Structure 1
Amino acid sequence: MILSLDLSEKILDHLVQATGATEVLAADGGPLMVAPGTDTPASGTMRLFRGGSIQKIVWTKLQVASRGVTTCMIFAFADPASGLPHFTLDCADHGDESYAFHLDLMPRVELATHVPYMDEVFLPLSPFYETGRATEGMWATGTTPRQFAMMSPWMLVNFANEEAFRKIGDVVMDYANHWISVINTGLSPEVQATLADTDLTERDAGVRYNLFSPSIDPVWGRVDAMIGPEGSELIRSNLQLL
């Protein structure tokens, strides 16, 4: 079993079922993108889901089978014009009995100046965050301060041994279920009113452009090397564009 793929597909299926999103298929009826490797025996897959109660879900899988490396990403986007958060999970098998994951809900406004929003949307994550942070068998990644600035203080991002990675699956499901609840319930009228100072669509476009920019996240250089610039750009454009 590829643990990262198993977790990612489990969460993807849960999100698709809960939101009612529909997959956008390629002309052959398969995933929207299947890319062969370049100079290494790598491969890439992207699946896209749209509609239902959200804007879209982008799911990717990149593999170097000869090295036992698999990395999967889910980014589930709420309506850009709403203040509802986005959900993200990245997870990876590194082929050396180590794993990695990145889990978060992405805020739609500046939290420091929108405390009621923070308390309504993010504070309920705190017990799950503390459980995740206290899990033994994890260690720090090379995530930079610039990358941290793009996300929320409730972000969990770590390397992990197998036992810890298996345990973190419950925390991932807790985050996913909270996000689904927020999507289904919506923001309270009182909190929604506090967002009037923010152009939500414009801010979302700017944050997504920066978050998935090669100048911010060096992972895109590795994606280019694995599946080629064309496949990498197709994934990135689906993440950035509203």
Structure 2
Amino acid sequence: MSLPAALCERTVETTTAAYDLAVAVDLELTGELSPDPVGRLRVLCGDPLAKVVTVDLVVPPIGLDSHMIFAFLPGDSAIPHFTLDSVAANGYFAMHLDLIPRTDLAVSLDYLDAAFLPLTPSLEAAWRIEGVSPAAVGPRQRAMMSPWMVVCRATESAFGELGGTVAEYLRHWLTLVDKGVPPVDIDLAARDRVNRANLFSPRVDPVWAQVTRLLGAEQAERVRGELLS
């Protein structure tokens, strides 16, 4: 198993064990130009989570080994969503790790301090790892994530060290799920719908054009639909 696949699988296993998740969807994804499987879509469900969506895309001919996890809380919960993208492509490794805010952090200081401030030492330590460098992500996408996002490229050894950062973020997120966060005075479900529509919009994230080229429009929309619903 590759480093990116193993990292995501450990993360899924930890979350599944914590909440006794059950598989609701397990679907092979095929290539647009070939009937051979190029990936897998899984959806796992169990209280108190709404769903965990995992997408694996492994295409050796184009050097792609990509594994994504998005763990969602219910729409009316203030607890951040958890996301991890773990990738090897054409000789480099990349990662996107974050907790997705459910409210405007600038006007929700108690929420910020509880949900995100404890991640600061882990964030700072991650950027000190030799071989970790910032990924090219524009301000438009960054505006939809948190300031504690780790989005980077890494050497193989640095990527291995980043596994510790993922474990620390996951432990903190599981604590938030279990203990809760300070309340916020907004329509959480309405904000979540809009936020997810933007996060997973092809207008915002160019990765959807690549996924569509690989899987075709129908399968790409099936994957995106699981992330939106």
Query: What's the TM-score once normalised by structure 1's chain length?
Result: 0.91
1:157 aligns with 2:145: no
Q: How many residues align?
A: 228
Segments of structure 1 that go 5 or more residues without pairing to the other structure are 26-30
> Quick one: which amino acid aligns to residue 32 of structure 2?
T
Residue equivalent to 2:139: 145
Cα shift readout 1:63-110 (whole Å, capped 9, x = no counterpart): 1122432101000001210111100000101141x1000000001000
Residue equivalent to 2:4: 4
Higher strand share: 2
Residue equivalent to 1:229: 217
Distance 1:179 1:57 in 2: 14
Distance 1:94 1:119 in 2: 36
> Quick one: which amino acid aligns to residue 85 of structure 2?
D
1:1-242, aligned counterparts within 5 Å?
A: 1-25=1-25, 31=26, 33-39=27-33, 43-96=38-91, 98-187=92-181, 191-192=182-183, 195-196=184-185, 198-241=186-229
Cα shift readout 1:174-207 (whole Å, capped 9, x = no counterpart): 10111001001112xxx21xx12x1000000000
Distance 2:90 2:96 in 1: 18
- Structure 1 window deviating more from structure 2 (35-44 vs 56-65): it is 35-44
Distance 2:124 2:37 in 1: 36
Distance 2:200 2:39 in 1: 17
> Quick one: which amino acid aligns to residue 6 of structure 2?
D
SS at match of 1:81: coil
Runs (4+) off by over 6 Å: none
Is this contact kept in 1: 2:198–2:204, CA < 8 A? yes
Distance 1:104 1:36 in 2: 28
Distance 2:173 2:108 in 1: 18
Identity over the aligned pairs, expressed in percent?
38
SS at match of 2:151: strand
Query: What's the TM-score once normalised by structure 2's chain length?
Result: 0.96
Distance 1:4 1:230 in 2: 26
> Quick one: which amino acid aligns to residue 87 of structure 1?
F
Is this contact kept in 1: 2:21–2:45, CA < 8 A? yes
SS at match of 1:55: strand
> Quick one: which amino acid aligns to residue 144 of structure 2?
M
Is this contact kept in 1: 2:127–2:133, CA < 8 A? no
SS at match of 2:96: strand
> Quick one: which amino acid aligns to residue 4 of structure 1?
P
Residue 42 of structure 1, CA deviation: 6.7
SS at match of 2:137: coil
Segments of structure 2 that go 5 or more residues without pairing to the other structure are none
Is this contact kept in 2: 1:42–1:227, CA < 8 A? no
> Quick one: which amino acid aligns to residue 145 of structure 2?
M
